[in-house]
Structure 1
Amino acid sequence: MKELDAIQLRRYGVDGSQEQNGLALRRRSATRCNPKRDSGITVGKESGNVLFCIDFARGCCSDGSECSHRHEIPKFPQDEANPHILNSEFDIFGRKRSILLTAWEKAQRRKEHGANTLDLAALELSNIRPPQKQRSELCGGTVKQDRSVAALLDIQVRKAVGQFGDIADLRIHLERGLTKPAKVIVVFKGRTQAEFAKEALTNQGLVPESRELLQVKWAPFEQSVPFDLQPTKAPYSANLTASIYTNKNNVQVEDISWDKYLDATSQRYYWANRFTLQTTWTNPEDQGDKEEHEDKEENTREEYQRQWTPHLDPRTGATYWAHNVTKEVTWLRPHPT
């Protein structure tokens, strides 16, 4: 691990993590990571160091092949499953997760929402300038385009952000009036790739020649789950004992007949309840304190159903349902069988 001297601490704590500072206080980075051009074997990788170089992520490592850290993007799922890379104490660059990095964190005296949530693998990119409509030379008329602005922006984001990790899902949020900045939710397959991309995109534009300055932060957890849950049967399933538990909002939820599935898109496991059609990325055993019971109460099912709220997906125009308490999402209208 690189020695954290005064210069290194100043670089870690100030220059590289200003994504929540005011735009007037931020400056465009003079360097940019190009994984295709800059990746390579380093002394650190050959010696067994599994952590990534933060200067490589920012495109400014002067050590080159002599660097004591890895010069490559995280691999999914190999790096995701390595506890020496992804753990609750240090991030993938070797920084303590408890350190307050940004000016916002130091002012609030707390970490940014999602900074230490290892299950969160989605970034929210805002202040993105949408592609401008092409206009003809005569009278400034618009030229007919084969793709919508959202589709063009989707292509740009996938090309710019996809070089830092595998994208599981991407959602475009356009404001009324195409001159206003857009917001994009990018869901990666793993947390390690999301942490690398967050550092690589900080103080950058979407593309090198663009003039915007991206605002990069962790996405809200309820927006970070891909909507296309396909119940591809896993090699095995977990049928848990039926029970009723009280979650953090003091709402009783029935836990019965949970099966484990593999999401074909993100290659992540999730759990589905055959009785309530509930889906969740986390093991139901870890969602609350359970109490054994014998009688199933009807009001538990009714309370669970009242927590579902319909939403409109701006990308597809379809309606999906999100649970206000457990934060699951589903394309199907939830109802008890």
Structure 2
Amino acid sequence: MIAGNQRQPPSSMSSMECRVTFQHRLFEMSLTTATTTAPKRKLRPARKQVAPDEIDKSESVQAGKEYNIWYNKWAGGDKEDALANKTLSQSRCIITRDAGYTRADATGNKYCCLFFARGCCPYGHECNYLHRLPLPNHTVPDNSRDCFGREKHGDYRDDMGGVGSFNRVNRTLYIGKIAESPDKNQAQETLLRHFGEWGKIVKWNILYQRGVAFVTYESEHNASFAKEAMANQSMDGDEILNVRWATEDPNPGEIIAEQKRIEEVGQKAISGMLDENLVEAAQTIRALEDGDEQDFYPIEASKPESEEAEEEEEEDSRPIKKSKSSAGTANGIFDADALDNLKFYADLAKKQAEEERERVKERKVPSKPAITSLLGGYGSGDESD
């Protein structure tokens, strides 16, 4: 047997070097596949927040005898503070844990689930409403309804609760019954941490030693969602929050800024809905009415710069002729052009009058001799005499 029949590695590369080179190539291939094919993100179904019989729906004893459908409570007989008798909510929504897709994502329903915002929806992904926060560009089919599909009213309730009003775009919430904190920075961090979960906050204000705060969201839908999600909830303390719609800010500067913001939002919404061809047609009609049609449809093509320069030189080289009429009547009532026109029409009228006289002379017939007497003028010039 010849030992040379067995396959030997090349003398220039050992077995250890071959193994290292092979592992390096595998690592490069793995990097290439990782960069070219990104992993697909899997959608998560919405979580069932509570069991069907987990929430206690028994109502407390009501002192009133008449039920007010406007305030959704019993009226009359309650002499104590209604806010002090509130009970802590039995459930709370946690967006990072409960949000996901539902049947509404497939059917095209644009309204959010009210029970999901309160943290007590037992249906999960089988719900017919959205289980997520309203997006910044979230629009509802009917502007007279809130993000949950509830009808708004013409005016707010006396206690600034309920759905709200369709006559005002309200993005600010009133938060009462806040537990006092000796550290102002800690109170601010707690407020933004709990209420910032429901959307972007653009402005906030805390009235210390009064247990009151105001929070303004970027969108009205986020404010409506936060109002339902934080009603009768607590933050880091043992308080029971009173969340209501805030009244209009009486500051004139804030009123003007809000009006400008509403106008800008309206212009963006209208411009996004309009067709580009329709906008161009409207601009063209307006230009025609104003006499600026040359800006949209030029009458003649622009000439090269060389030709324009030659024409300007020719115009400059031409001698300037001044008419006698313009020189003599520079300070008169009529200018030179008006006098030239008057002279032209006067000559034309004079010429037409002379032509008319010549035409009349050519058509004139010689008149007969007049009879001077009965006898002397009787046939004296006739050959028959």
Of structures 1 and 2, the one with the larger relative CO (CA 8 A, separation 6+) is 1
